[in-house]
Structure 1
Amino acid sequence: MDVMKQAGALKERLVDFALSPRFARELDKAFEQSHPGGLVENEVTASMVVDHFALQHRLASGDTVIDRFLRAHPGLSPQERSMLLGWKDVVEGFFEVQGKDRDAVILLNLVDELTYRARSNMGKAAFRTVEKGMFLICRLVPLGEDWLVSAHISLFPAEARAQLLPQAAEVALRNPKLVFRNPEKLATARRMLAEQREVFIELHGAEYIVVPGDQVIPRLNAFMQTLMDRAQPGDTTPPPSSTYPDEVLDADTVAIHFDPETGISLYLDFGLLQELFTNPSLINRRRYREILTSYLRGDDISPAAIRLLAEPDPDNASVVFQKLLKKKGFSWPEHGEALLRRHKARYFETPQLPTTVPVSAAMTEHLRTLDHQTPI
């Protein structure tokens, strides 16, 4: 069978499987999360939600619809299984049409600045109204050396560039993983991160500081101002204003940590845990136990936070975790890393990415123009 026909038939089977009653409850939740209230305004939006659910959504069991489909269809050929597994690698973006090549369109992704040769299981007909300079918002999955359009396409005229650039920039800043498909972007981000970390340590004498919650914004603003002063001496433009939830600003203590892999992280009540790791007997108090447990089990708290607490005195750390876990033989030097891997598996399964995201010169200039137009 022709690879395009095979892909089309396989995708139809996968979507039917995703829409089957066995996934109804989780699909409803996916729609609710994507569109609170459950109101989906058009077929294109619904198609995007279903496509994401079928290819990427993590089910309550931890696997995906593709994983379930593969288990339910053991008779699939090796080529079909390989194609399905490849579809987990979805590219989302805002694409500028660079031209056409037979039954394909050549697309430049504004988010990762990579070029994709994209085809459709509908053939040339899918791109009949597409012209060079137009923009597409769509999803692509691998198809051999090419890419296959997955779900519907939203098509915009060339004149929509000014509206789409800031949207693409926002997506890039919120989802670094999409940008770092481009290895050059990732290398640039890591260089920027290393330079910023040097400035942070130069300012504070260490890779983290512990401050009252109401000092978080002033400290971070001062850090950003220093970065801007060094990058553009003499520029009087103030740094972007920072906003944080009240739980951060009202916290007794917050650690501001410049992680070498990701960048700035904030850890609430860190000072209290520093007391605990200095005086392990405090683990007998409920508040200390609860906060340490939240650090250990919290999916949004990096294992780096616990390492920072344990490394100054590994013996004390051993005692703390012996009491918390009720394991007399626990030793932080021997068992600490395994403990973190068990409770923080997500951080070890995939490389942690920088939170500093380099965007294109066009995006940067456009965003700067919008900032200057914003009334104060």
Structure 2
Amino acid sequence: MDVMKQAGALKERLVDFALSPRFARELDEAFERSHPDVLADSEVATSMIVDHFVLQQRLASGDTVIDRFLRAHPGLSPQEREMLLGWKDVVEGVFEVKEKDQDAVILFNLVDELTYRARSNMGESAFRTVGKGMFLICRLVPLGADWLVSAHISLFPAEARDELLIQAAEVALRNPELVFRNPDKLAAARRMLAEQREVFIEMYGAEYIVVPGEEVPSQYDAFMRACMDRAQPGNTFPSPSLTYSDEMPDAETVAIHFDPETGISFYLDFGLLQELFAAPSLINRRRYRETLTSYLRGDDISPAAIRLLADPDPDNAGVVFGKLLKKKNFSWPEHGESLLRRYKARHFETPRLPTTIPVSETMAELLRSFPPDGPSEP
């Protein structure tokens, strides 16, 4: 069978499987959680949510729809199994049409700045209205040396370039993993991160500081201004604004941590836990116990935060976690890493990527031209 027909037939079977009653509850939950980061109409947005659920979403059991499909269809050929597993590698973005090439289009992704030759299982008709210089918002999956359009397409005229550049920058800032498909972008981000870490340590003398919550915005602004001055002395660009939780300004203490692999993180009530790890008997008090539990179980808190607390005094850390977990012989040096891997599995399953995202100078100029809340609605 022709590879395009094989892909079309396989994708149809996979989607039918995903839309079966066995996944109804989890698919409904996916729709409730999803707010696509793209300028797309409702039909395209729906298609993208379903496509993400089918190809990428982790189910409650920890596997994916593709994993379930493979187990349910042991008679698939090796080529079909390889194709399905390859579809977990999804490219999302805002694409500029560079040219048409027979039944394919050559697309430049404004998010990762890589070029893709894309085809559709609908053949040339899928790109009949697509012209050079136009823009597509879509999802692509591997198809041999090419890429296959995996969900509905949103098509925009060339005149929408500025708006779509801003959209691409916002997608990149929210989803670093999409940018870092490009190894040059990842290398550039790591260089930026190393320079910023030097600035942080020069300013504060350590890789983290603990301050009252109300001081976090001013400390962050001073740090970012120092980074910008180092990169381009004398610049007058506004420093990036800080987006933070409603609880942060009222927090008694917040740790501002510059992780060498990811960048800036904020940990609320960190000072309280420092008191606990200095005096383990405080674990008997509810507030200390509940705060540490929230750190351990909180999916948004990096294992790095717990290491910062535990590593200075491993013996005290062993006592604290032994009492919290009711394990008499708990030892932080012996059991700490397995504890983190158990409670922070997501952080170990995915690469630790920089939160500093390099964008093109064109994008940067456009973003600087708009107020902090972003461009006004057209």
State the TM bucket, normalised to the shorter chain. Answer: over 0.9
Question: 4+ residue stretches of structure 1 with deviation over 6 A?
Answer: 372-375
Offset at residue 371 of structure 1 (A)? 4.2
Offset at residue 176 of structure 1 (A)? 0.4
Cα contact 2:41–2:154 (8 A) shared by 1: no
Amino acid at match of 1:174: R
Cα contact 1:280–1:316 (8 A) shared by 2: yes
The separation in 2 between residues aligned to 1:250 and 1:203, in whole angstroms, is 24
CA RMSD of aligned residues (A): 1.8
Identical aligned residues as a percent: 81
Correspondence for 1:305: 305
Offset at residue 369 of structure 1 (A)? 2.5
Cα contact 1:94–1:138 (8 A) shared by 2: yes
Change beyond 3 A, Cα 1:374–1:302: closer
Cα contact 1:97–1:105 (8 A) shared by 2: yes
Amino acid at match of 1:349: E
Deviation track 1:80-104 (CA, whole Å, cap 9, x = no partner) reads 0110011111111000011111111
SS in 1 for 2:117: strand
Correspondence for 1:269: 269
Correspondence for 2:356: 356
Deviation track 1:104-162 (CA, whole Å, cap 9, x = no partner) reads 11000000000000011111111112111111111000001110001111111111112
1:141 paired with 2:141, answer: yes
The separation in 1 between residues aligned to 2:293 and 2:179, in whole angstroms, is 34
Q: Spell out the pairing of 1:11-50 with structure 2 (5 A cutoff).
A: 11-34=11-34, 42-50=42-50
TM-score (norm 1): 0.95
Offset at residue 43 of structure 1 (A)? 2.7
The separation in 2 between residues aligned to 1:315 and 1:286, in whole angstroms, is 22
The separation in 2 between residues aligned to 1:145 and 1:41, in whole angstroms, is 30
Correspondence for 2:94: 94
Cα contact 2:104–2:119 (8 A) shared by 1: yes
1:242 paired with 2:242, answer: yes
Deviation track 1:319-350 (CA, whole Å, cap 9, x = no partner) reads 11111111121111111111111111111112
The separation in 2 between residues aligned to 1:317 and 1:35, in whole angstroms, is 40
SS in 1 for 2:358: coil
- Could you tell which deviates more after superposition, 323-332 or 298-307? 323-332
The separation in 2 between residues aligned to 1:44 and 1:227, in whole angstroms, is 40
Question: Which 5+ residue runs of structure 1 have no aligned equivalent?
Answer: none
Offset at residue 169 of structure 1 (A)? 0.7
Deviation track 1:201-235 (CA, whole Å, cap 9, x = no partner) reads 01000000000111111111110111122222222
How many pairs does the alignment contain? 372
Cα contact 1:314–1:332 (8 A) shared by 2: yes
Cα contact 1:97–1:106 (8 A) shared by 2: yes
- Could you tell which deviates more after superposition, 363-372 or 266-275? 363-372
1:109 paired with 2:103, answer: no
The separation in 1 between residues aligned to 2:11 and 2:74, in whole angstroms, is 16
Offset at residue 164 of structure 1 (A)? 0.8
1:330 paired with 2:330, answer: yes
Correspondence for 1:214: 214
The separation in 2 between residues aligned to 1:151 and 1:172, in whole angstroms, is 20
Change beyond 3 A, Cα 1:185–1:328: same
Change beyond 3 A, Cα 1:374–1:120: closer
Offset at residue 35 of structure 1 (A)? 5.7
Q: Spell out the pairing of 1:363-374 with structure 2 (5 A cutoff).
A: 363-371=363-371
Correspondence for 2:166: 166
Change beyond 3 A, Cα 1:212–1:28: same
Cα contact 2:96–2:110 (8 A) shared by 1: yes
Offset at residue 242 of structure 1 (A)? 2.4
Correspondence for 2:157: 157
Q: Spell out the pairing of 1:226-237 with structure 2 (5 A cutoff).
A: 226-237=226-237
1:130 paired with 2:130, answer: yes
Cα contact 1:34–1:49 (8 A) shared by 2: yes
The separation in 1 between residues aligned to 2:152 and 2:88, in whole angstroms, is 17
Amino acid at match of 1:293: T
Question: Which 5+ residue runs of structure 2 have no aligned equivalent?
Answer: none
Correspondence for 2:72: 72
Cα contact 1:217–1:243 (8 A) shared by 2: no
Change beyond 3 A, Cα 1:63–1:374: closer
Amino acid at match of 2:313: D
Cα contact 2:105–2:117 (8 A) shared by 1: yes
SS in 2 for 1:106: strand
The separation in 2 between residues aligned to 1:170 and 1:297, in whole angstroms, is 29
TM-score (norm 2): 0.95
SS in 1 for 2:151: strand
Amino acid at match of 2:177: K
